[in-house]
Amino acid sequence: MKKILLTTLLAFSIGSYAYDAEEAQSMYEEDCTSCHDSSVFTRPAKERKVNDLGALKKQVHRCVGVTGASWFEEDEENVVQYLNENFYKFAKEKK
């Protein structure tokens, strides 16, 4: 019985990611700005190291690893979406 309940809860939690702009902004301000100011995100496109949404996801993941931030995958997705909506404005990936 416990195994069925755990499996059911896990199945629902895997597909239940929801963007939380306030949480993402808080994580950005607490963790990202310790190394970056907003000029990293607002420089001209030709000077950027990140030029699409896939590259942004990889860069956020790299930064989390380098800083040792204790973020979950959902946290990374949240911050990627925050950065994209507020700075980069890349087209959303098609599923």
Tens digits of per-residue pLDDT, 20-47? 999 999 999 999 998 988 888 888 888 8
CA 3 vs. chain centroid, Å, equals: 31
How far is residue 45's CA from residue 49's CA, in Å, rounded to a whole number?
9
Query: What class does CATH assign to 17-88?
Result: mainly alpha
How far is residue 3's CA from residue 41's CA, in Å, rounded to a whole number?
45
44-65 pLDDT per residue, tens: 888 888 999 999 999 999 999 9
Residue ranges in the chain assigned as alpha helix (H): 2-14, 21-31, 39-42, 53-67, 73-83
Place of tokens 């907003």: 38
pLDDT at 27: 95
- Asked whether residue 19 carries a pLDDT value surpassing 90, the answer given is yes
Place of tokens 């808080």: 26
